[in-house]
């Protein structure tokens, strides 16, 4: 199929983990230039609040709370582009890391709409980083795997092979993995990973009110419950997670500082 010459263009833009200062220069420019910005909640409150009211559409949750189907978002992108608009599809983190950016790119290509992909800082790396956790380490982790925690590990058809991941000896970073934390930590223990393997949960990384909770493969579910950690959060499993303890005393962190203020207000 030929590119539709009268159509506009769609930019698939990652917003980074949430701090507006971590938007790329290109993302910032495109947000200024766009006729319309389609976004959900994941870019975080600071970035979303900075978007111009008259040029943005929230395609996250619909009224009533259910999620806008991906098919409706795909169709809206094509519809706007066919009106000749310059469209930014803004996604939390990087659009191509568990962001359905790939599906959107395929749909646009199928419909002859020109698009550009604007890569970004993924929360999978950035959320651990700001918590003082390097996802690789010369002494402790020579590989890192990015995994969805959304699937039920006890299901036969689960496409995540936790046993194989346990065998890598590298870092495992789980996205969308708050709810099923008990299932996949059990699967990793079952696969022979040491119960004392360090685990960290980074909630709302780089958002005001970021929180970090740490434990081990054996204790982390209790920690999650006690601290009431909720999405969005990234789970880091592996020896690198212990780096947090080593560096914490000297780790400047504006995000967690902001939370202390917020907490005071809540009391």
Tell me which residues are annotated as active site.
40, 61, 176
Q: Does 236 bind ligand SAH (CB under 6 A)?
A: no
Q: By C-beta, is 38 or 42 nearer to ligand SAH?
A: 42
Q: Does 93 bind ligand SAH (CB under 6 A)?
A: yes
> In the set 47, 73, 94, 214, which binds ligand SAH (CB under 6 A)?
94
> In the set 30, 73, 97, 241, which binds ligand SAH (CB under 6 A)?
97
Q: Are 236 and 136 in contact (CB under 8 A)?
A: no
Q: Does 233 bind ligand SAH (CB under 6 A)?
A: yes
As a whole number of angstroms, the distance between CA 201 and CA 229 comes to 8
Residues numbered 139-198 forming contacts with ligand SAH, rule: CB under 6 A: 175-176
Q: Does 213 bind ligand SAH (CB under 6 A)?
A: no
Q: Does 27 bind ligand SAH (CB under 6 A)?
A: no
> In the set 10, 87, 123, 243, which binds ligand SAH (CB under 6 A)?
123
Given the rule CB under 6 A, which residues bind ligand SAH? 17-18, 42, 91-94, 97-99, 122-124, 127, 175-176, 202, 204-207, 231-234
């Amino acid at each position: 199929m030929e590119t539709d010459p009268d159509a506009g263009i769609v930019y698939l833009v990652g917003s980074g983990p949430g701090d507006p200062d971590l938007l790329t220069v290109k993302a910032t420019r495109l947000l200024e230039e766009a006729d319309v910005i389609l976004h959900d909640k994941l870019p975080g409150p600071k970035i979303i609040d900075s978007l111009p009211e008259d040029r943005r559409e929230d395609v996250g949750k619909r009224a009533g709370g259910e999620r806008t189907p991906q098919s409706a978002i795909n169709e809206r992108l094509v519809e706007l582009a066919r009106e000749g608009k310059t469209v930014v599809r803004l996604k939390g983190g990087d659009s191509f890391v568990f962001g359905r950016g790939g599906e959107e790119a395929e749909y646009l290509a199928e419909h002859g709409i020109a698009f550009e992909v604007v890569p970004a800082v993924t929360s999978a790396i950035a959320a651990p980083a700001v918590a003082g956790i390097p996802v690789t380490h010369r002494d402790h982790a020579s590989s890192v795997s990015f995994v969805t925690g959304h699937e039920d590990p006890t299901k036969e058809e689960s496409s995540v092979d936790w046993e194989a991941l346990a065998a890598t000896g590298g870092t495992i970073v789980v996205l969308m993995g708050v709810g099923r934390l008990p299932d996949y930590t059990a699967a990793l223990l079952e696969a022979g990973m040491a119960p004392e393997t360090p685990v960290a949960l980074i909630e709302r990384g780089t958002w005001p009110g970021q929180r970090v909770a740490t434990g081990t493969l054996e204790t982390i579910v209790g920690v999650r419950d006690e601290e009431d950690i909720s999405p969005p959060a990234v789970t880091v499993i592996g020896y690198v997670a212990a780096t947090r303890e080593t560096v914490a005393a000297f780790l400047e962190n504006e995000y967690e500082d902001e939370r202390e203020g917020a907490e005071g207000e809540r009391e």
